[in-house]
């Protein structure tokens, strides 16, 4: 019994003690708080997806970014900050969500995976640099409010998702060695799906058009991996209001590159994308940066939405 308590996740011990003291409300089978599941807190959707797929029934995953909310500019409730400190494992990425970075610094969880330390983050690319043109801006991307020195959107490269999957498998196996075989098997299944996705995406090398226009610059990793060229209306954050000069530059690049489609996102207003498409007589379609999943997403999980993205790109860029 002593051994079992020592090996149980910390919150399970706390829950067991609370039950012993309170003698109430401890027997229902709800959401992992009262069993020996591993308590994982994911900073935003793609990490939630990996944790749920690898952890399966042995893990309870909560997501700090509510469904339908934007993970950029995330603010945390006091309860969420507390949940970080109590978690067995937190999946996050330094430099992306300042509130999460601060909460972890102040309230160290039992375990954490900082994805920025296991995948190679790229410099921002594919965003329009107006300083090269006639625009006399204050410097680089400052006018767009980008505070990122590295592009955070690494999850849109399936190969990075494989790296994350393997890291989650390893940490879960350390935290809960009894179920290591299950975590290994779950991870293997997910890695196979991600490899297939990567292989299917490689058909983008046959696209007649290499450029695509996105709402915010979320697809730099995808563009780099599969040989495409991202033209983004906004910068690395989706909430920026693009300047008229930037919109004009996007329109010119879209014309010069034979772009057929202006892409917008499910979590962000399509107003600017629709306006640009209207001016140029182009169509619009969804290219989803997978920063969250809602009922309006074109697919129920990362893999399905990535497949919808691939189909949208193949149509827009005349591939295959
Ligand atoms: Zn983003």
3-state secondary structure 14-47: HHHHHHHHHCCCCCCCCCCCCCCCEEEEECCHHH
> What pLDDT sits at residue 200?
98
Using alpha carbons only, what angle is made at residue 21 by residues 19 and 25, rounded to the nearest 5 degrees? 35
Task: Name the band, by pLDDT with cuts 50, 70 and 90, for residue 35.
Answer: low
Q: How far is the CA of 67 from the centre of ligand 1 (A)?
A: 15
pLDDT at site 239: 81
Q: For residue 9, is pLDDT > 70? A: no
Closest CA to 281 of 259, 298, 305: 259
Judge whether residue 13 has pLDDT over 90. no
From residue 232, alpha-carbon distances to 216, 262, 263 in Å are 5, 10, 9
Question: What are the start-end ranges of the H helices in 257-318?
Answer: 271-280, 302-316
CA of 178 to the centre of ligand 1 (A): 37
- Asked whether residue 162 is assigned to any structural domain, the reply reads no
Tell me which range, 14-18, 129-133, 137-141, 204-208, is most confidently predicted by mean pLDDT: 204-208
Whether 116 is in a domain gets the answer no
Question: Tell me: the pLDDT tens digits for 198-216?
Answer: 999 999 999 999 999 999 9
**pLDDT tens-digit series, residues 60-94:** 999 999 988 889 989 999 999 999 999 999 999 99
Span from the CA of 264 to the centroid of ligand 1 (angstroms): 12
Strand partners, 277: none
Q: What pLDDT was estimated at residue 149?
A: 86
Radius of gyration for the alpha carbons in the chain, expressed in angstroms and rounded: 22
Residue 83 lies in a domain: no
Contact indicator for 212, 230 with CB cutoff of 8 Å: yes
CA of 239 to the centre of ligand 1 (A): 9
**Share of residues in the chain with pLDDT > 70 (%):** 82
Residue 90 makes CB contacts below 8 A (sequence gap 6+) with 40, 41, 42, 43, 84, 104, 109, 111, 112, 113
* Residue 178 counted as domain residue: no
Residue 182 lies in a domain: no
DSSP state of 144: G
Output the CA 185–ligand 1 centroid distance in Å.
31
Distances 267 to 73, 86, 146, 270, 297 between C-alpha atoms, Å: 13, 30, 19, 9, 9
The alpha carbon of 128 and the centre of ligand 1 are apart by a number of angstroms equal to 16
Give the Å distance between the CA of 230 and the centre of ligand 1: 14
Q: Write out the residue range of the structural domain in which residue 17 sits.
A: 1-36
CA of 9 to the centre of ligand 1 (A): 33
pLDDT (tens digit, 9 = 90+) per residue, 153-198?
Answer: 999 999 999 999 999 999 999 999 999 999 999 999 999 999 999 9
Least confident of 26-40, 155-169, 217-231: 26-40
- Where is pLDDT greater, at 22 or 248? 248
pLDDT for the residue numbered 129: 57
Structure tokens at 160: 């990075």
For residue 4, how far is its CA from the centre of ligand 1 (angstroms)?
A: 42
Ligand 1 centroid vs 215 CA: distance in angstroms? 10
Please tell me the distance between residue 32's alpha carbon and the centre of ligand 1 in angstroms: 30
Task: Give the per-residue pLDDT at 138.
Answer: 37
pLDDT above 60 for 126: no
* CATH code: domain of residue 253: 3.40.50.1980
Report if residue 79 sits inside a domain. Answer: no
Domain assignment of residue 17, yes or no: yes
261 pLDDT higher than 60: yes
Q: Structurally, how many domains does the chain consist of?
A: 2
User: What average pLDDT does the chain have?
Assistant: 86
Distance 66 CA to ligand 1 centre (A): 15
Q: How many angstroms separate the alpha carbon of residue 44 from the centre of ligand 1?
A: 11
Does the pLDDT of residue 134 top 80, yes or no? no
Q: What beta strand segments (E) does 26-173 contain?
A: 38-42, 59-63, 89-92, 112-114
* 71 part of a folded domain: no
Tell me the pLDDT tens digit for each residue of 282-308.
Answer: 999 999 999 999 999 999 999 999 999
- Kindly give the distance from the C-alpha atom of residue 103 to the centroid of ligand 1, in angstroms, as a whole number: 21
């Amino acid at each position: 019994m002593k051994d079992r308590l020592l090996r149980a996740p910390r919150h399970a011990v706390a829950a067991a003690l609370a039950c012993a003291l309170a003698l109430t409300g401890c027997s229902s089978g709800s959401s992992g708080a009262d069993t020996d599941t591993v308590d994982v807190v994911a900073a935003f959707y793609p990490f939630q997806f990996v944790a749920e797929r690898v952890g399966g029934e042995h893990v309870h995953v909560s997501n700090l970014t509510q469904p339908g909310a934007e993970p950029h500019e995330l603010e945390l409730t006091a309860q969420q900050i507390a949940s970080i400190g109590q978690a067995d494992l937190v999946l996050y990425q330094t430099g992306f969500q300042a509130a999460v970075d601060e909460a972890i610094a102040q309230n160290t969880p039992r375990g954490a995976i900082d994805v920025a330390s296991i995948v190679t983050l790229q410099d921002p690319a594919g965003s329009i640099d107006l300083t090269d043109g006639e625009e006399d801006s204050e410097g680089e991307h400052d006018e767009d409010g980008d505070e990122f020195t590295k592009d955070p959107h690494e999850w849109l490269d399936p190969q990075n998702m494989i790296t994350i999957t393997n890291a989650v498998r390893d940490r879960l196996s350390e935290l809960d060695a009894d179920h290591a075989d299950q975590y290994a098997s779950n991870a293997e299944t997910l890695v196979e799906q991600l490899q297939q996705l990567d292989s299917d995406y490689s058909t983008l090398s046959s696209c007649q058009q290499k450029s695509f226009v996105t709402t915010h610059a979320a697809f730099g990793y995808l563009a780099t991996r599969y040989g495409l060229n991202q033209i983004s209306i906004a910068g690395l954050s989706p909430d920026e209001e693009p300047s008229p000069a930037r919109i004009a530059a996007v329109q010119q690049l879209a014309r010069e590159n034979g772009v057929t489609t202006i892409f917008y996102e499910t979590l962000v207003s399509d107003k600017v994308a629709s306006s640009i498409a209207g001016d140029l007589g182009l169509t619009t379609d969804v290219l989803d940066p997978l920063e969250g999943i809602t009922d309006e997403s074109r697919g129920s999980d990362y893999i399905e939405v990535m497949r919808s993205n691939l189909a949208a790109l193949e149509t827009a860029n005349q591939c295959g």
